[in-house]
Amino acid sequence: MLTIYRKDSAPQQWRQGDANAAAGALWLDLVDPTAEERAEAERMVGAKLPSREQSSAIELSNRLRSTEQTVRVNIPTFVRDDGGHGATTPLSFVLCAALLATVRYAESDAFNLVAKSFGGKDAPGTSVCVFVDLVETIVNVDADRMETVAGGLSRLARSVFSDTKDHRNQQRAALFKVGAMQREVIQIRSTQLGLSRMLTYLCETKHPWIDADAYEQLNITQKDVGALAEFDQQLSDRIQFVLDAVLGFINNDQNDIMKVLTVITVVTIPPMILAGIWGMNFKSIPEYDWPHGYAFGLTMIVLSMLIPLAILKWKRWF
């Protein structure tokens, strides 16, 4: 899908055969484009757009390129809008003085927020302004998602350290929640890492058609990315702490179960031995001829259970 954004009009979906598609365009947003849409965008921009394989490359030489007329930057891992549950997709920017082209392969809240500003008084006036707004909004959306993860982690920590009857049943679910949070944080971290390298490159590579205000906004956004990196580290430490706590509680529960099984084993072995001895069919067993031999046997079996229980209770092993 190819969407064309202009300053003073609503977004327009590109249709094949539209000769005036490029008139007044500031931003071309391609979402999982077809070959025809990619070719039309390349004609309008006047530059080659990176393929999905090129956008996914992790080499800096493939991710960051610029000429006097264009800037090409790629983010190999871009967070999807499904809460971090799906695989990340790449994101590419091709920025010119008059036009910005973005190539992505999934829906994005950040792009939707910037798209809503078009057709109103807050619409960006240049392609550079669109690019700066997109980068800032991506950082803001990632920050909101990290805050959401932090809130969910706090609620999870309270439930993990609670003393409720169903606490043991909550531990398995807590493991899945911790895994989902860790996955989302890793995806956000990957996006922020790509943004950080992109912003560093742009701030060090000056272009005359990018004004000082835009560079100032990019510098501020770069500092925001650095602050998010610190918050990300704290969040990762908290996730690891909660994970260790859940595993610790699970180990304690397993130890309790093993303790119960051990007590049962210690208590039941002596009566089984006695019952096995007196259950043998030999005429030479003297207890068989005693008048109260049966009562004696039952009493010894019961005592062989009560004595180990008393000893274990005295030592506070259960």
Please, is 124 exposed, middle or buried when counting C-beta atoms within 10 Å of its C-beta (0-12, 13-18, 19+)? Answer: buried
Looking at the DSSP bridge assignments, the partners of residue 91 are 75, 104
How far apart CA 180 and CA 23 sit, in angstroms, is: 45
pLDDT, position 310: 86
Total number of residues shown for the chain: 318
pTM of this structure = 0.73
**8 A C-beta contact, residue 43 and residue 54:** no
Angstrom CA distances, 45 to 28, 102, 128, 141, stand at 9, 11, 14, 28
User: What pLDDT was estimated at residue 62?
Assistant: 57
Whole-angstrom Cα distance, residue 163 to residue 15? 61
From CA 11, how far away is CA 16, in angstroms rounded?
Answer: 16
Give start-end residues of each CATH 1.20.58 domain in the chain: 253-314
Torsion over CA: 298, 299, 302, 304 (sign): negative
pLDDT at 119: 66
CB atoms within 10 A of CB 151: 10
Task: Output the CA angle 93-79-189, nearest 5 degrees.
Answer: 100
Could you tell me where the beta strands, DSSP code E, fall in 136-205?
Answer: none
pLDDT reported for residue 118: 76
Pairing of strands 2-6, 89-96: unpaired
CA distance readout (Å), 301 to 209, 260, 268, 280, 289: 96, 21, 9, 15, 18
What does the pLDDT read at residue 212? 83
Q: Around Cβ 38, how many Cβ atoms within 10 Å?
A: 17
Handedness of CA 10, 16, 21, 25 (dihedral sign): positive
- Contact in structure between 222 and 203 (CB atoms under 8 Å): yes
Residue stretches of the chain with pLDDT short of 70:
9-11, 14, 16-23, 57-63, 80-87, 119-122, 164-169, 318
Q: At the top level of CATH, which class does the domain 253-314 belong to?
A: mainly alpha
The bridge status of strand 25-31 relative to strand 100-104 is: parallel
